[in-house]
Amino acid sequence: MEVKARAPGKIILSGEHAVVHGSTAVAASIDLFTHVCLRFPSQTENVDALKLHLKDVGLEFSWSIERLKEALSQVCCPFSSVPSSCTTESLKSLSSLVDEQSFPEAKIGIASGAYAFLWLYTSILGFKPATVVVTSDLPLGAGLGSSAAFCVALSAAFLSLSNSVSLDVSQKGWLTYKESELELLNKWAFEGEKIIHGKPSGIDNTVSTYGNMIQFKSGSLTRIKTTMPLKMLITNTKVGRNTKALVAGVSERTLRHPDPMTSVFNAVDSISKELSTVIQSPASDNISLTEKEEKLGELMEMNQGLLQCMGVSHASIETVLRTTLKYKLASKLTGAGGGGCVLTLLPTLLSATVVAKVVKELESSGFQCFTATIGGEGVQICFDGSS
Ligand SMILES: Nc1ncnc2c1ncn2[C@@H]1O[C@H](COP(=O)(O)OP(=O)(O)OP(=O)(O)O)[C@@H](O)[C@H]1O
Ligand SMILES: C[C@@](O)(CCO)CC(=O)[O-]
Ligand SMILES: [Mg+2]
């Protein structure tokens, strides 16, 4: 039995970090996916292990079912129909399982992904032998929601072969889950994100689950639809960083300066709400598309200024901002910052020559530029092996 799942990455148009502290944020899925292939061995194969192959980072793990039961029977609740949180005690058991697999020092950041995998797998499917292969179109740890896409795609694959959802496995092509099942899937993915991020807001797993564009505040989503074409240049500074550490850094700054940080978060809330209104309002005689794009660009710049206040910008991000500003283009970091990716709004009337010049200049600084389609499908699964 084999199933494939895919879940998209995301961009945050406004509100990262502040959303962890209760502000509104606006995010959209992009057409770059994390793919998971889950296969149960046939009885004749006589396999008694759970194998994980993380192709993007060149890591392979194999745990005997006996060892998994020994380490996790006391701390995890197999076939749990309600998403369960990984406790500190469970995390210790997960880390001993990963550590004993001779994990290379240079790839230590990936360990939390392996913990999330083990937690989701054993909680949803118990101690069943299987092989799971993960690949991604997304750069890892660059602000495009690779951790959430990973958790959403894993949850989708595991749930599809569990008793918690009912799916017609004879259907062909990419399938979507029912609304109630998406809610369950999103909750499981959030438990995985908690293992990787520490204190996620839930926006990344939610937009990866549902796709399209969402406004998100205090754990609840509102689906929104843009009336304007949104074209963003995505620049990967290639400076590695870790979302968990950046989120913790903002929380520490908030403890040191509660009043000013509360004002910063309130300002971000207003920016996100206004941005959401601008992108949803129809262009009319009174307000042209160009004016809407100018407003959007200005709101992105204002949000970037506040992200600097939170301490999550980086010299590489500032270089991208300075470069794009020379061409009068508005930019902001996206995701957790500290390096990673920067968004630049490409107005509809901007000529291809100017775009090529900006890209050339950014790439000459060692950055990588690309565009992605904004606001497509959320998570999907496929049983027929043809996709
Ligand atoms: N394809 C993958 N293979 C293995 N591990 C992955 C994969 N995708 C994500 N991960 C896990 O997620 C971690 C990166 O998550 P992190 O939250 O730091 O960055 P991000 O999700 O890409 O950016 P952001 O959270 O800012 O959107 C990796 O270190 C790894 O543990
Ligand atoms: C930095 C952050 O706001 C977004 C990361 O993509 C963290 C979160 O919301 O979980
Ligand atoms: Mg992440």
| pLDDT 10s digits, 203-216 | 999 999 999 999 99
**Ligand 2 center to 267 CA (angstroms):** 17
Q: Which pLDDT score, from 0 to 100, does residue 285 have?
A: 66
**Ligand 3 center to 92 CA (angstroms):** 21
| pLDDT 10s digits, 169-182 | 888 999 999 999 99
Enter the tokens of residue 191. 């438990």
Q: Which atom of ligand 2 is nearest to the CA of 312?
A: 1
DSSP H helices, the chain, are 65-72, 88-99, 111-125, 146-160, 179-197, 203-210, 243-256, 258-280, 289-310, 315-326, 352-364
Domains and CATH numbers, the chain: 2-223+377-382 (3.30.230.10), 229-371 (3.30.70.890)
**Ligand 1 center to 109 CA (angstroms):** 9
297 lines ligand 2 (CB under 6 A): no
Query: Which residue's C-alpha comes closest to atom 16 of ligand 1?
Result: 141
Alpha carbon 27 to its chain's center: 10
Q: Which pLDDT score, from 0 to 100, does residue 104 have?
A: 78
Q: Which pLDDT score, from 0 to 100, does residue 387 have?
A: 60
Our CA angle for 257, 260, 263, nearest 5°, is 140
Give the residue from 375, 335, 51, 367 showing the smallest Cα distance to 193: 335
| CB burial string 8-44: b at 16+ within 10 A, e below | bbbbbbbbbbbbbbebbbbbbbbebbbbbbbbbbeee
| Single-letter amino acid, residue 157 | A
Is the pLDDT at 202 greater than 70, yes or no? yes
**Ligand 3 center to 42 CA (angstroms):** 35
Is 204 a catalytic site residue? yes
Torsion of CA 58, 197, 249, 272, to 10 degrees: 110
Query: Which residue's C-alpha comes closest to atom 9 of ligand 1?
Result: 147
- Under DSSP, the state recorded for 166 is -
Query: Which residue's C-alpha comes closest to atom 29 of ligand 1?
Result: 110
The rounded distance, in Å, linking the Cα atoms of 221 and 209 is 11
Query: Which residue's C-alpha comes closest to atom 26 of ligand 1?
Result: 143
242 lines ligand 1 (CB under 6 A): yes
**Residues 357 and 165: beta-carbon distance below 8 Å:** no
Torsion sign over Cα 130, 135, 139, 143: negative
**Residues 374 and 27: beta-carbon distance below 8 Å:** no
Q: Which pLDDT score, from 0 to 100, does residue 180 have?
A: 92
**Region of residue 366 (phi > 0: left; psi between -120 and 50: alpha; otherwise: beta):** left
| Structure confidence at residue 305 as a pLDDT band (50, 70, 90) | very high
| pLDDT 10s digits, 142-196 | 999 999 999 999 999 999 999 888 888 888 999 999 999 999 999 999 999 999 9
Residue 144, Cβ neighbours under 10 Å: how many?
Answer: 28
Query: Which residue's C-alpha comes closest to atom 6 of ligand 2?
Result: 335
**Ligand 1 center to 145 CA (angstroms):** 7
Exactly one of 204, 259, 269, 384 is catalytic; name it: 204
Sequence-ordered list of residues with C-beta below 8 angstroms from that of 39, at least 6 positions apart, any chain: 1, 2, 130, 131, 132
The rounded distance, in Å, linking the Cα atoms of 299 and 305 is 10
The rounded distance, in Å, linking the Cα atoms of 66 and 349 is 62
Q: Which atom of ligand 2 is nearest to the CA of 337?
A: 1
What 3-state class would DSSP assign to 190?
helix
Q: Which pLDDT score, from 0 to 100, does residue 344 have?
A: 98
Is the pLDDT at 386 greater than 70, yes or no? no
The rounded distance, in Å, linking the Cα atoms of 245 and 314 is 14
20 lines ligand 2 (CB under 6 A): yes
**Region of residue 340 (phi > 0: left; psi between -120 and 50: alpha; otherwise: beta):** left
| pLDDT 10s digits, 260-293 | 999 999 999 999 999 999 999 987 767 799 999 9
Torsion of CA 250, 256, 259, 265, to 10 degrees: 0
**Ligand 1 center to 144 CA (angstroms):** 9
| CB burial string 298-308: b at 16+ within 10 A, e below | bbbbbbbebbb
Query: Which residue's C-alpha comes closest to atom 24 of ligand 1?
Result: 143
Longest dimension (CA), the chain: 70
Ligand nearest, relative to CA of residue 303? 2
| Single-letter amino acid, residue 44 | T
109 lines ligand 1 (CB under 6 A): yes
236 lines ligand 1 (CB under 6 A): no
**Could you report the predicted ipTM of this complex, rounded to two decimals?**
0.99
Q: Which atom of ligand 2 is nearest to the CA of 334?
A: 6
